Amino acid sequence: MPFSRLGLCQPILSALSALNYTKPTTIQKQAIPVILEGRDLIAAAQTGTGKTAGYMLPVLEKLRHQQTQKKKRIRALVLVPTRELAIQVAENTASYAQHLPLTCLAMYGGVDEQAQKDALIAGVDILIATPGRLLDMYRQRAVYFEETEVVVLDEADRMLDMGFIDDINQVFDRLPENIQHLLFSATLSHRVRDLAKTVIEDPCEISIAAKQASKKNIQQWLVTVDKDKKSALLSHLITENQWDQTLIFIETKHGAAKLVSQLEKRGITAEAFHSGRSQAVRAKVLEDFKSGAVKYLVSTGVAARGIDIEALPRVVNYDLPFPADEYVHRIGRTGRADAAGEAISFVSKDNFKNLCMIESRLGHLIERRVIEGFEPKKPVPVSILNYVPESKRAKQ
């Protein structure tokens, strides 16, 4: 099915053609008609499935007939968890709307407020914002919602993980009653569903996450290794395999800085990406990684939300993530648009339970490898599919 059959106008179709979007993804085919009908929607869609276009294209189609120039008023609001995702969504929106008389703005904390206030005064059709900065602007009477027609909650699961529930509720309490609600999440967990119930009545539901939990175009494998040998193993794999652009996930800010230092001692230049670095530094690091000036980016999972690198060849789970859905989200950074990708995970005996939950989520075992010279002294047991953590066993 081509985009032209989804009810999108020629200016949007021309923009998609220029971006080499040839046919809609699954989430786009299912979500766009629902949104154009004006229905509320909750959707489970992983990163890399085209979800941003899935909601933004129909929003642009709905808004294109009338442009607002009213001061401090917005017509569409997109809430996102991080600065990086706000920037990414705004960039995508600008590219989709390149032939339309619509304006968009990314608004987030950590930068000077005045430029954002000036843009709001000039008039903004689509505002992409983090909840905290949005509420700050609202309290300063820099933005009003009475003419807002649609609100999108993007990466709802991550927003809840980051403790934004109170901010989200405060924003939704201030929105018009008849507004269209769109909620997108990597998974439709109980917490996400509970959130949806508080703000959305009788929504359409789309879920494609389970089908794409293990994409065939992403080669997944893990290396069993003792915890104290992981940095040496990473250096070995980078040099022996001549890895190019690689996104390396780690759990803590301190761990990211330490790993970068260890890599540099072995002659490998890398950069850390986490919330402990200033916004300006993070923006520069991300720009360098996208351009290829930096080949190895060591990022915490939270900071990595919003990192969108076209044709990223490889991700490494230096620390195995928890919960299992976070693994699915991380490996979705590679293998975009059916391109080949590779996801490597380091597993030691102390995170065996995490591995069991991940493989149970995937529905299959991940290929195991042992690298010569890095054989673990503490072997990792054979995984248990359908593993249930102790905390949940009593509830069954």
- Which residues make Cβ contacts (< 8 Å) with residue 131, sequence separation at least 6? 79, 159, 164, 167, 168, 170, 171
Q: Over 90: is that where the pLDDT of 110 sits?
A: no
Q: Domain ranges for the chain, please list them.
A: 3-211, 213-393
- Which residues make Cβ contacts (< 8 Å) with residue 228, sequence separation at least 6? none
pLDDT at 333: 83
Which pLDDT tens digit goes with each residue over 321-367? 887 878 887 888 887 766 789 999 999 999 888 898 888 878 788 99
Would you mind telling me the total number of residues written for the chain in this entry?
396
Domain 3-211: CATH class, spelled out: alpha beta
| Residue whose pair of structure tokens reads 């970068």 in the numeric block | 260
From CA 372, how far away is CA 306, in angstroms rounded?
Answer: 36
- pLDDT top residue among 319 and 210: 319
Which pLDDT tens digit goes with each residue over 119-136? 998 889 999 999 999 999
Nearest CA to 120 out of 74, 155, 58 is that of: 74
* Two domains, one topology: 3-211 and 213-393: yes
Average pLDDT over residues 75-103: 92
Which pLDDT tens digit goes with each residue over 43-64? 988 766 789 999 999 999 999 9
Under DSSP, the state recorded for 321 is -
- Give 215's pLDDT tier (boundaries 50, 70, 90): low
Average pLDDT over residues 228-245: 96
Whole-model pTM: value is 0.68
- Give 394's pLDDT tier (boundaries 50, 70, 90): very low
- Give 392's pLDDT tier (boundaries 50, 70, 90): very low
Query: What single-letter amino acid sits at 348?
Result: S
Outline where DSSP puts E strands in the chain: 41-44, 76-79, 104-107, 126-129, 150-153, 180-185, 204-207, 218-224, 246-250, 271-273, 296-300, 314-317, 341-347, 367-369
- Residue 171 tokens read as 């924003």
What percent of the chain stands above pLDDT 90?
57
Average pLDDT over residues 212-223: 78
Q: Over 50: is that where the pLDDT of 114 sits?
A: yes
- Give 159's pLDDT tier (boundaries 50, 70, 90): confident
- Which residues make Cβ contacts (< 8 Å) with residue 18, sequence separation at least 6? 98
| Residue whose pair of structure tokens reads 């591995």 in the numeric block | 355
Domain 213-393: CATH class, spelled out: alpha beta
| Residue whose pair of structure tokens reads 């690298």 in the numeric block | 371
Q: Over 60: is that where the pLDDT of 211 sits?
A: no
